[in-house]
Amino acid sequence: MNELFSKQIIALAEKDLSVREKLASEGQLSGGYHPEMEQVHKENAEQLREIIGKIGFPTISKVGAEASDAAWLIIQHSIGEPEFMKSCYQLMIENIGDIKPSNIAYLHDRIQFFQGRPQRYGTQLMADGIPYPVEDKGILNEERLKVNLMPLSQEKINAIPDVETISEIENKDPDYTAWRIKMGWIPDFE
C-alpha cells in the first residue's frame, strides 16, 4: 500500500469536508455552488488527477479502503468537471473488484443526475429529499442490493417521479440548467 498517496488523498477529502461543514454552519451552502467550495473541489480534483497519473486509480489494494473512499468523495464532489468524473467512473469500472461497489453506484447515479438522465440506484435526491427519477422502479431494490446499498421502502419508491417527468423537473430551475450547460453536463441547444 502506498502510504504517501494514501495520506495525501485522505487530507484532500478532509479539507473538502471541513470547508463544507464551515459553510453549512454559516448557512452558505444553499442557493448555488459556493465559490469557496468550488475552489476546493477544483484543487482537489487537480491533485487527485496528478495522483492517478502516477499510480492509476486509487484502489483499495493501492491506498487502503479509507483513502479509496476519500478518492471517491473527491470525485463525487468534482461536479464542475464532468469529463474528470466520467473518466474516473471508467477507471472504477476497470478496477471493479478493488473498489467499494456502492461508490461506483453513487458515481454512476451522480453522472446520470447531472446529465438529466434517470439513475439506476436511486442515490441522488432532489431538493425535497425524494430520489431523482430512476431507470426502473420495479427492480430498484434489486439493483441497490447488488452494490451493497440498503433497499428503499415501497413508499419511498412510489414517491419517485416517473422518467417522463425529467424535463419538467429540469425546467424548474433555469439557473441550475445554465450552470450545467456552462460546465458541459448538458448541451446548449440555443
pTM for the predicted model, two decimal places: 0.93
Name residue, grid cell 431494490: 141
Q: How far apart are CA 150 and CA 143, in angstroms?
A: 10
| Residue 132 DSSP one-character state | P
Widest pairwise Cα distance in the chain: 50
Question: Rg of the chain's alpha carbons, rounded to an integer?
Answer: 17
pLDDT reading at 71 higher than 80: yes
What does the mean pLDDT of the chain come to?
A: 95
Please give the residue that has the higher pLDDT: either 177 or 119: 119
Question: Predicted confidence band at 81 (pLDDT cuts at 50, 70, 90)?
Answer: very high
Long-range contacts of 84-90 (CB under 8 A, 24+ apart): 84/45, 84/49, 85/110, 85/111, 86/111, 88/52, 88/57
* Amino acid 77: pLDDT: 96
The Cα 37–Cα 145 span in angstroms is 32
Q: Report percent pLDDT > 70 for the chain.
A: 99
Q: What is the pLDDT of residues 139-168, one digit of tens each?
A: 999 999 999 999 999 999 999 999 999 999
Q: How far apart, in whole angstroms, are the C-alpha atoms of residue 135 and residue 185?
A: 19
What is 63-85 written as a DSSP string?
H-HHHHHHHHHHHHT-TT-HHHH
**Lowest mean pLDDT, pick from 46-60, 72-86, 173-187:** 173-187
Rounded mean pLDDT, 109-130: 96
The three cell numbers of residue 8 are 495525501
Q: pLDDT grade, residue 28 (50/70/90)?
A: confident
> What's the pLDDT at 190?
55
